[in-house]
Amino acid sequence: MYFIKRAFLYIKKQKAKTILLLVLFFLIANIVLAGLSIQSTSEAAVILTRQELGADILYTANSSKINIDYKNNIIDATTDKTTLEGIPLVSNVQLLLDSPYLESYDMVSTYEVTSDVLVPYDTRTTEPTAVTGGSKIILGTATSTGDLSFETFSRPEPFDFSSETATLIEGRFATEAEISDGAYVAIIETNLAQINGLEVGDVMSLTPTMVGYDQNALEYTIIGIYESTEIIDDKTLSSLGTSLLPQNRIYTPFNTLSSMGYSDTDLGNIVLDKAIITLNDPVNIEPYMASIEGLISMTYGIISANDTVYETLAGPLETLGSLSAILVWIVVIAGASILSLITALTISQRKNEIGILLAIGESKFKIVGQFVVETVAIALLAFTLSTFTGMEIGKVISSATLDTFLATEEPTVTTTGSGKNNTTTVDPSTLTPVELEFRFEPLVMFEFFSAGILISIISVLIPALYVTRFNPKQILTNNG
């Protein structure tokens, strides 16, 4: 193993060459570590972005398609909405629930109710104006025939509460048993409760106006009181009847429809405002979406998993990760090429040393091994030093690159409230990607040092092939 000792003696003696290689390896190492760190961190950030957006999948009617076909006289007010392909019927939703990725679901249907006793909340000074639009006419949301509205739910915490559109301030949510049994329980808004002097535990007499129901009054027990955080602009407010105001919205289990006498067939033909399918893990969204593809012809329906927001936030991260991977390979190849050239020149200058070693019986394998040890030792030192600077460089590069990506994006995000779809343009500055958290990951460090060793070995082995062609007698004679 004397060749190892010779290698370190050479490193110590040839200070200028050692410093030159150390600087080159240090520069290469910083770029490689920055690239690997960005790649690893961006991959983790993409997963975290999906987790931050949640595991909810939204199934709604395609209002835009309905409006277009209405204007083109393909469908009209007499069209049976249950015949529209892909519309969010209960029967369609049930096709999407047979999945190992499913955690829960919420079927949201809004219908109006009347009351001879309760006074609806209303702060408007003018009567509602006529509302136009094919989707509103076809789906039956253009007019108001009741004082209040019911919004159904199929899980203990309704979607509006989990999405923070509403906040429970008193009482409780419905239990699983109440939901499955279709118990007549209700959660009402605080303004409606105050106007009518209602409290948790009180009973309300309400008459649903659903098509097919004989319109008998039903007794609903108040189990909770909530506060709505939904904001409606003045233009929209002027077109809404009192029943469509968020303050007059009452939450009740979807299965109360079964309790009201609707058959399974009737329930299957109910057009939902939306269905929310929650998966057991956000990372399962893509495989779930792939598994349900083709189950329903989505002509008049949309299934969304916050795709626009996700692509807006995760897209730059994925691009950054891809660019960093390319950067690493470019640096590895370029670094190995430059170092190979330097090593080749060095070996050419060390012919006399090689000739003497060969003359005294040293094997060519050990001579090449000495060159490898020299280069690897310097590389490991440089790569170790770069661990303190490479990640900082990665932070600077990633921040600058992400800022550039986000500056060119202007995403359109579709947000869905209770019984309606609104499309708004979101300012990119308000969409903050998940912060890249750089830290020493074992796998990254393994790849990093492996890259360093690979570069150093490649840079030596190619020039060292000359050694196998050297003739010690000829070398010493030429240098004599």
Among the ranges given (115-119, 225-229, 349-353), the one the predictor scored with the smallest mean pLDDT: 349-353
Among the ranges given (60-74, 332-346, 436-450), the one the predictor scored with the smallest mean pLDDT: 436-450
Please compute the mean of the pLDDT values over residues 298-315 and round it to a whole number.
Answer: 74
Q: Tell me which long-range contacts 473-476 makes (C-beta under 8 A, separation of at least 24).
A: 473/359, 475/351, 475/352, 475/354, 475/355, 475/358, 476/352, 476/355, 476/356, 476/359
- Dump pLDDT digits (tens) for 136-185: 544 555 445 568 999 999 999 998 998 888 999 999 999 999 999 999 99
Q: Which residue has the tokens 């027990």?
A: 221
Q: Quick one: tokens of 314?
A: 């995760």
Which residues make beta-bridge pairs with 275?
59, 107
Residue 83 has pLDDT above 80, yes or no: yes
Same domain? For 26 and 100 the reply is no
Confidence label for 308 from pLDDT (cuts 50, 70 and 90): low
Please compute the mean of the pLDDT values over residues 393-411 and round it to a whole number.
Answer: 58
CA distances from 145 to 58, 80, 141, 243, 289 (A): 28, 20, 10, 8, 38
What's the confidence (pLDDT) of residue 478? 61
What's the confidence (pLDDT) of residue 421? 42
Among the three residues 305, 330, 356, which one is the final residue of a domain in this structure? 305
- Dump pLDDT digits (tens) for 118-143: 999 886 544 544 445 545 544 555 44
What is the rounded distance in angstroms from the CA atom of residue 76 to the CA atom of residue 70?
Answer: 6
What is the rounded distance in angstroms from the CA atom of residue 296 to the CA atom of residue 88?
Answer: 10
- Give per-residue burial for 155-172: e unless 16+ CB within 10 Å, then b: bbebbbbbbebbebeebe
What is the rounded distance in angstroms from the CA atom of residue 332 to the CA atom of residue 329?
Answer: 5
Among the ranges given (62-76, 256-270, 375-389, 447-461), the one the predictor scored with the smallest mean pLDDT: 447-461
- 388 compared with 141, residue with greater pLDDT: 388
Same domain? For 330 and 467 the reply is yes
**Whole-number average pLDDT of the chain:** 78
- Which SS3 state, helix, strand or coil, does residue 254 take? coil
Same domain? For 224 and 158 the reply is yes
Same domain? For 220 and 329 the reply is no
The closest of 432, 471, 377 to 3, measured between CA atoms, is 377
Report the residue count for the chain. 480
Tell the burial category of 424 from Cβ atoms under 10 Å away from its Cβ (0-12, 13-18, 19+): exposed
Q: Which domain holds residue 116?
A: 55-305
Report which secondary-structure segment, H or E, holds 110: strand 110-114
Residue 417 has pLDDT above 60, yes or no: no
What's the confidence (pLDDT) of residue 204? 93
Among the three residues 254, 278, 305, which one is the final residue of a domain in this structure? 305
- 314 compared with 38, residue with greater pLDDT: 38
DSSP-H helix ranges across 350-389: 351-359, 364-386
Residue 423: partners with Cβ closer than 8 Å, 6 or more residues away: 412, 413, 414, 415
Best-predicted range by mean pLDDT (50-54, 116-120, 230-234, 460-464): 116-120
Same domain? For 349 and 249 the reply is no
Same domain? For 157 and 211 the reply is yes
What is the percent of the chain where pLDDT is above 70?
76
Q: Quick one: tokens of 129?
A: 């104006």
What single-letter amino acid sits at 479? N
CA distances from 453 to 186, 345, 456, 462 (A): 68, 20, 5, 14
Same domain? For 79 and 202 the reply is yes
Using H for helix, E for strand and C for coil, what is the string for 192-253?
HHHHHCCCCCCEEEEEECCCCCCCCCEEEEEEEEEEECCCCCHHHHCCCCHHHCHHHEEEEE
Which residues make beta-bridge pairs with 250?
150
Report which secondary-structure segment, H or E, holds 453: helix 442-464
Residue 15 has pLDDT above 60, yes or no: yes
Same domain? For 361 and 261 the reply is no
Please compute the mean of the pLDDT values over residues 268-297 and round it to a whole number.
Answer: 88
CA distances from 239 to 150, 165, 203, 403 (A): 19, 21, 31, 41
- Dump pLDDT digits (tens) for 50-61: 666 667 888 999
Same domain? For 141 and 191 the reply is yes
Same domain? For 37 and 129 the reply is no
What's the confidence (pLDDT) of residue 208? 87
Confidence label for 311 from pLDDT (cuts 50, 70 and 90): low
pTM across the whole model:
0.64
Among the three residues 272, 305, 338, which one is the final residue of a domain in this structure? 305
Residue 431 has pLDDT above 60, yes or no: no
Same domain? For 324 and 450 the reply is yes
Q: What domain count does the chain have?
A: 2
Confidence label for 416 from pLDDT (cuts 50, 70 and 90): very low
Same domain? For 248 and 347 the reply is no
